[in-house]
Amino acid sequence: QSVLTQPPSVSGAPGQRVTISCTGSSSNIGAGYDVHWYQQLPRTAPKLLIYGNNNRPSGVPDRFSGSKSGTSASLAITGLQAEDEADYYCQSYDSSLSCWVFGGGTKLTVL
Amino acid sequence: EVQLMDSGGGLVQPGGSLRLSCAASGFTVSSNYMSWVRQAPGKGLEWVSVIYSGGSTYYTDSVKGRFTISRDYSKNTLFLQMNSLRVDDTAVYYCAKLLAGGWYEDGYFDFWGQGTLVTVSS
């Protein structure tokens, strides 16, 4: 059971907008630690998608955006494309565990 | 261009040992925070260990006393020595560069290796 909770799966049609939630607690997201997001395409290593809650690394399309409020964070993907089909993970730090923690991952299916 | 190349995985019996390597290019391992992150088959990501630029090391509770993270300046390579391996250590192990600004707690993994599979089974 992951410290950060994500829905196991989400889906959307091409062109639509989807959001993926990441729910934590007062010892991680609620404590003010940054949230970061990763995209893992099938059979590949994770890739940094969003850092520092809402910043995109160079090369990541502006269709991807992040937000954070209270003990939760969200990843939004607009203009859904077939190539977005992947697993998505949120990550933060937990002061009780004294380590970096990940969400359980969300599988995005493009219908 | 930053590149990380993981190697050293394989099949090992419970109680055995394995040493993973992560050869880096495009940056200096010893000047950065470096981590190992693992992913059990069909499961999510789990942080395993970190070595800071100053040399301090930290581990997730389940591997403390069994795993040792280290680095070689001359080879620009990160290592993970894994002893007393258990079946639940079976996973793909990724080395990752950890980038942190003012607070290490707000760090994130900006570059990843391709991963190396460790299978612990009799």
Q: Which two tokens stand for residue A85?
A: 């089909």
Q: Is the pLDDT of residue A3 over 90?
A: yes
Number of cross-chain residue pairs from A and B with Cβ atoms under 8 Å apart: 58
Q: Is the pLDDT of residue B16 over 90?
A: yes
State the average pLDDT for chain A: 97
Cα torsion through A50, B99, B2, A102, rounded to 10: -50
Segment B94-119 shows an average pLDDT of 93
Q: Is the pLDDT of residue B102 over 90?
A: no
pLDDT in tens, B89-100: 999 999 999 999
What is the reported pLDDT for B104? Answer: 82
- Tell me the C-alpha distance between B100 and A52, whole Å: 10
Long-range CB pairs of B100-106, under 8 A, 24+ apart, other chains included = B100/B33, B104/B33, B104/B52, B105/A33, B105/A93, B105/A95, B106/A33, B106/A34, B106/A52, B106/A93
Measured between CA atoms, the residue of chain B closest to residue A53 is B106
Q: Is the pLDDT of residue B69 over 90?
A: yes
Q: Which residue has the tokens 């203009």?
A: A79
User: A30 phi and psi, to 5 degrees?
Assistant: -65, -20
pLDDT in tens, A60-95: 999 999 999 999 999 999 999 999 999 999 999 999
Which among A36, A66, A48, A22 is positioned nearest to B94, based on CA atoms?
A48
Residues of chain B in contact with residue A99, where contact means CB-CB under 8 angstroms, are 47, 58, 60
Cα distance from B6 to chain A (closest Cα, Å)?
11
What is the reported pLDDT for A6? Answer: 98
What is the reported pLDDT for B105? Answer: 86
Residue B114 contacts A where some CB pair is shorter than 8 Å: yes
Which among B6, B115, B39, B48 is positioned nearest to A44, based on CA atoms?
B115
- Tell me the C-alpha distance between A45 and B113, whole Å: 7
pLDDT band at A21 (very low <50, low <70, confident <90, very high): very high
β-strand pairing of A106-110 with A9-12: parallel
Partner residue facing B44 (CB), from A44, A89, A99: A89
Asked if B110 and B35 touch (Cβ cutoff 8 Å), the reply is: no
- Tell me the C-alpha distance between B4 and B75, whole Å: 13
Q: Is the pLDDT of residue B101 over 90?
A: no
What is the reported pLDDT for B71? Answer: 98
pLDDT in tens, B19-61: 999 999 999 999 999 999 999 999 999 999 999 999 999 999 9
In percent, how much of chain B has pLDDT > 70?
100
In percent, how much of chain B has pLDDT > 90?
95
Segment A20-24 shows an average pLDDT of 98
In percent, how much of chain A has pLDDT > 90?
98
Collapsing DSSP to helix, strand or coil, B12 comes out as strand
Interface contact flag, B110 A57, Cβ < 8 Å: yes
- Tell me the C-alpha distance between B25 and B2, whole Å: 6
Which residues have CB under 8 Å from B102's CB, separation 6+? none
What is the reported pLDDT for B44? Answer: 96
